Amino acid sequence: MTENLVIEIYARACSLPESLGGLTSLQDLSLYKNKLSGTVPAESLGRLVELAYLVLSRNLLEGIISEAHLANLTKLVYLDLSSNRLAVKFSPNWVPLFRLDLLDVSSCSLGKKFPSWIRNQANILRLYMSKAGIEDAMPNWFWVSFVQVYILDISKNAIYGSFYGSLPTNFSRNGRLLDLADNLFSGTIDPAIGESMPNLMLLSLSGNKLHGDVPSSLCQLQNVEVIDLARNLFSGELPNCWKYDLTVLDFSSNNLSGGIPDTIGSLSSLEALHLSNNSLSGKIPSSLQGCTGLAILDLSQNKFTGKVPTWIGESCPSLKILRLRSNMFAGRIPQNLSRLLGLQIVDLAQNNLSGTIPKSFGKFDAMKVTRANLEQVLQTYTSVYVERMEVVMKGKALMYGDSNGILSLVTSLDLSGNNLYGTIPRELGSLRGLLSLNLSGNHLNGEIPKEVGSMQSLVSLDLSRNELTGAIPSTMAYLTSLESLDLSSNNLSGRIPPGNQLQMFNESTYTSNPGLCGFPVTQICENDDNGAGTRNNNTSEEDGAGSQVWLSYLGTALGGFVVGFWVFWGTLILKSDWKDAYLSYIDRQYDRFYVIVAITFNRCKNSYV
């Protein structure tokens, strides 16, 4: 009885009580990030006629917000319902009596139509409607009705319409933040954008269908910190007029050509330069040495040539992410990249690099620490900008964002698809915080160093398509975090180390290594079954003894499986998350267990023939 009472009181404490309506003189109700759940009581809220500030953001509230909630709140100037599970539904003809300065309904459901009720909110200065489920054309009245807005975020909807110079000439000259990312806008950008919005600090138009040239007037934005035009259809060359104190410059995933403008090197405050997935060419200009604050340099998937500049290891001490993947870089990997102790992602894959892997790569401190100890990738940038990065891991291109620190937790070293030779440096074993190591598609030889077994955080390891020899080190059986492994197409030999970890992968992990034996490959090791693989015609007594040993092993395995199953089953019933994980593991091990039984049965049968 006491327990039920406690739960009931706790539930009431986590919801908005009906008695809230008794606070009729309340002017400010701010309940930001309090784990509130349940619905918002319309009658109670409607009695707070003096309310000016209503903040319910970052909770677990659900249900519908209608006119009944807000019709009587004529003094309301600040309304923040963001980051809940709320649906905001007003009748199309409803005209609210309040005049808002701020409206934030991000991550609320507003319906597919553009909300017409906000049209009369002529006092709004900050308007946030990101991720609101809108699938409608941008109304013509919008840019006229909200010329006073200086922060506008309507990103991550499906709003469409053509610019063709109409934006931002009719928009606020006082605009500080303009975020229209991840919609369906088409057309071009007004060539005079730098003149018409001189106070802009963040411009994000990424993830739309904009085309044409990148306006050179962007260089005139004296206060801008972030310019994000990624994932559009822009073509031509980048303007060569950059100055002022930009923090982020993102032109990735467009159709740009030409080289990197020299004037980008004058941006000493630049922290992130994204130019990936274009058709840019030429060498990396030495002028980029001036970008001493760079934390991210992503030039992947272009047509850059020449050597990887040695000055990167000297002039960019804050670099954390270096992506030069899928270009035409040649020559050796610079040794002095190892000076950049903060590097957590190094991707030089799919180039024409040669030489050996620098032993000094074992010095990357950020790859030694656990994920929980890594710092945020970018330290100073406008808060609404979310850093995004594609990382190839487990054979897939995965997109990571840094809004919740996920990108900060990723560590990866990818040197695959080059012409590297020599042995794998045993010094890499010190990178105990590394999640992904890919050295595939090179000409590496020698044995896999046993120090690889010290890389306890590895989730993905790919050493395939090399010329590696010798046995798989037994230490690799202790890589308990490993989810993806590829050792195929080498010259490895000997028994695959026993233990669950390396046997959980299927045979394709080890294919094209004719000298490997033992489960999960089909080749039986010579000393298995008391020498059954190489034995001559031994006596029937020896054969019988051998078969009884294998039958004993089989019985023990089956008995242990059954007993272990029932010992843990009660716990798994009570702990659903343990149950899901355990059943997933059993499913992965089914094929392995079946093959063991089949091989053992055949051996037993053959021993009596």
Host domain of residue 29: 1-134
How many C-beta atoms surround the C-beta of residue 414 within 10 A? 23
Per the domain annotation, does 519 fall within a domain? no
**Helix runs in 135-188, H state only:** 142-145, 166-169
Give strand ranges (E) for 245-314.
248-250, 255-258, 272-274, 279-282, 296-298, 303-304
Handedness of CA 596, 598, 603, 605 (dihedral sign): positive
The per-residue pLDDT for 529 is 57
The CATH number for 72's domain is 3.80.10.10
Beta-carbon count within 10 A of 325 CB:
22
For residue 329, give the nearest of 307, 362, 359 by alpha carbon.
Answer: 307
- Is residue 303 domain-resident? no
Considering 134, 156, 185, which residue would you say is the last residue of a domain?
134
Provide the β-strand partners of residue 250: 228, 274
What's the gap between Cα 139 and its chain centre? 34
Walk along the chain (609 residues) in steps of 10 and give the mean pLDDT of each run: 33 72 90 90 93 94 94 96 94 91 95 91 93 92 84 93 60 84 91 84 94 91 92 96 91 97 94 96 95 95 96 93 97 95 95 97 90 59 68 82 71 97 96 96 97 94 97 93 95 90 91 93 78 34 34 38 40 42 44 40 38
pLDDT at residue 377, as a whole number: 61
Q: Is residue 571 part of a domain?
A: yes
Residue 358, pLDDT score? 96
In a domain, 531, yes or no: no
Tell which of 80, 108, 134 closes a domain: 134
Residue 184 is given by DSSP the state E
560 inside domain: yes
In a domain? residue 284: no
Q: Strand 279-282 vs strand 255-258: parallel, antiparallel, or unpaired? A: parallel
Domain boundary among 115, 134, 153: 134
* pLDDT attached to residue 9: 30
Inside any domain, residue 188 = no
Using alpha carbons only, give the angle 323, 327, 332 rounded to the nearest 5 degrees: 80
Contacts of 478 (CB under 8 A, 6+ apart): 453, 456, 499, 501
pLDDT at position 340 is 93
For residue 5, is it within any domain?
A: yes
Q: How many domains does the chain have?
A: 2
